[in-house]
Amino acid sequence: MESFWNLERENYKKFDSLSEDIKADICVIGAGFTGLLTAYYLSKQGKNVVVLEKDRICSHTSVGTTGKVTSQHGLIYKYLKESQGKEFAKKYFRANQKAIENTKEIIENENIECDFEEKSAYVYTQSEKDLQKIKDEVKVCKALGIDSEFVQSIDLPFNVLGAIEFKNQAQFHPLKYAYGLSNAIIKNNGEIFENSKVIDIVKEDENYIVETENAKVKASYIVVATRYPIITFPGYYFIKMYQSTSYAMIFDTNTDFNTNGMFINSENPQNSFRSVKFKDKNLLLAVGYDQRTGSEIIGNPYEYLNSRVKNIFPDAKEIIRWSAEDCISLDKIPYIGDFSKVMDNVYVATGFNKWGITSSNISANIIKDKILDTENEYEDIFRSSRLEIIKNKDEVMNMLKESAEGIVVKRLKTKQTPTCTHLGCKLSWNEIEQTWDCSCHGSRFTKDGEVIESPALKDLEES
């Protein structure tokens, strides 16, 4: 299902596909926010950058996002302080707040019209059980120096018991922003190729050969910016994270729904609300009902969101619906930096835990600095080679078990037992989306077997 943001797609140019072999300093695989931002920063430094995208730019998670530009990632700071320490939590906040400032600076410098609005972000609760969690988060945030407040009312038409407010946050139109970035990359002599699916990466002397279906790119540096890394070994990211699907709907509330903030609740199931500009009106974006991709879906997520919104706005009318996948890391911290210790000059950014807009900017700056051999003050807290095997041993063992069982099933598979072309895990039929979904690593296929979401690269009939 196409997202609301894609309604603007016809207004923008299409990029050619790669049709002949070329050379570059850096080859970026994936043209979501991470890939485009990395190419943007490096092209500004005079580097020869090529971006390869298997579909159209910003056509997967980046165009499925809420468009919230925020350092408030749920109730994360108490967790970070207790699990990683006070200084770590401070750096995490500073990195994400800096990403908001960077985003604003890019939009201003490149004159990108993308409905950018500065607003507060809120995590609220209507549950007595979660009220103390909100208060504890406020206490931790204030101790960390974060501009935050405990409030007992928010700009939504229902009562809450309490909320934590982060000031100096923002929202925007993701696709307009993406095309603004792409225009800047082209202006800086970078190159972008759409419909250029990468099928292999091969080391050749001091360089890498990135193979697409029709041509190749020879480059000194590779950036894997495909949400879920398309390289399985080495790296082993499939045992360090899983994928989660969220559901989104746009409503006309029969009012001009223009709020002073962006809102998400603390309890499960989670709901996220923000206003969206469309023509001469403000609409409501409602997101929620997260579930691990490929797991059994209890109920219908869209019916749940529809019911939730109509309880608040009885006259609301649905405009459009869609879903989006995100990678969830085991310790709630993105993996950014070297892809593997045995693959020099290959970099990765993944595991954004549904907060990809700020995480993509952090990633682009860390990777840019690594390529330019410049120190980055936030590199250490997002180190991609970490594996908290002790703290997360149960989850790691579950992922390994699922993959091993899937490979056994693949050897025994029949036409009645479709299996993923990534590592052979069993697929489950998603009646809501009409797709085959992998519960191990989140690959998705159309009902006819065409791969639509990585890490799988091959269609079902190719396996």
Please tell me if the domain spanning 115-169+243-329 has the same topology as the one spanning 393-462: no
SS3 251: strand
- The sign of the CA dihedral 163, 169, 171, 174 is negative
| Closest among 61, 356, 42 to 191, alpha carbons compared | 42
- Mean pLDDT over the full length of the chain: 91
- How confident is the model over 266-294, as pLDDT tens digits? 998 889 999 999 988 999 999 988 889 88
**Distance of alpha carbon 348 from alpha carbon 142, whole angstroms:** 33
Mean pLDDT of 316-323: 96
Choose the weakest-confidence range: 240-244, 289-293, 458-462: 458-462
All structural domains of the chain with their residue ranges: 4-64+175-240+332-382, 115-169+243-329, 393-462
**So what's the pLDDT on residue 412?**
43
With tokens 């800086």, the residue in question is: 188
How many angstroms separate the CA atoms of 334 and 336, rounded? 6
DSSP-derived secondary structure letter, 3: -
Q: Classify residue 196 by its DSSP letter.
A: -
The residue ranking higher by pLDDT, 342 or 82, is 82
**C-alpha dihedral (352, 356, 360, 361), degrees to nearest 10:** -120
Reported as type and span, the H/E element at residue 393 is helix 393-412
Fold of 4-64+175-240+332-382: FAD/NAD(P)-binding domain (3.50.50)
Note the pLDDT tens digit of each residue in 102-144: 999 999 999 999 999 999 999 999 999 999 999 999 999 999 9
DSSP E strands: which ranges in 82-157?
Answer: 117-125, 148-151
β-sheet bridge partners, residue 336: 349, 383
CATH T-level fold of 393-462: Rieske Iron-sulfur Protein (2.102.10)
Q: What is the pLDDT of residue 409?
A: 46
Segment 232-237 long-range contacts (CB within 8 Å, at least 24 positions apart) = 232/422, 232/423, 232/455, 234/339, 234/340, 234/341, 234/342, 234/343, 235/339, 235/340, 235/343, 235/348, 236/387, 237/335, 237/348, 237/350, 237/351
The answer on pLDDT for 389 being more than 60 is no
- Asked if residue 435 lies in contact with residue 452, where contact means CB atoms within 8 angstroms, the answer is yes
pLDDT exceeds cutoff 70 at 392: no
Dig out the tokens for 371 from the structure.
């390529």
Q: What is the pLDDT of residues 162-177, one digit of tens each?
A: 999 999 999 999 999 9
Does the domain at 115-169+243-329 match CATH 1.10.730.10? Answer given as: no
Calculate the alpha carbon distances from 56 to 13, 182, 296, 424 in Å. Answer: 10, 12, 30, 28
pLDDT bucket at 414, cuts 50 / 70 / 90: very low
Helices and strands, number each (H, E), in the chain: 9, 21
Q: What is the bridge-based pairing of β-strands 343-350 and 68-69?
A: unpaired
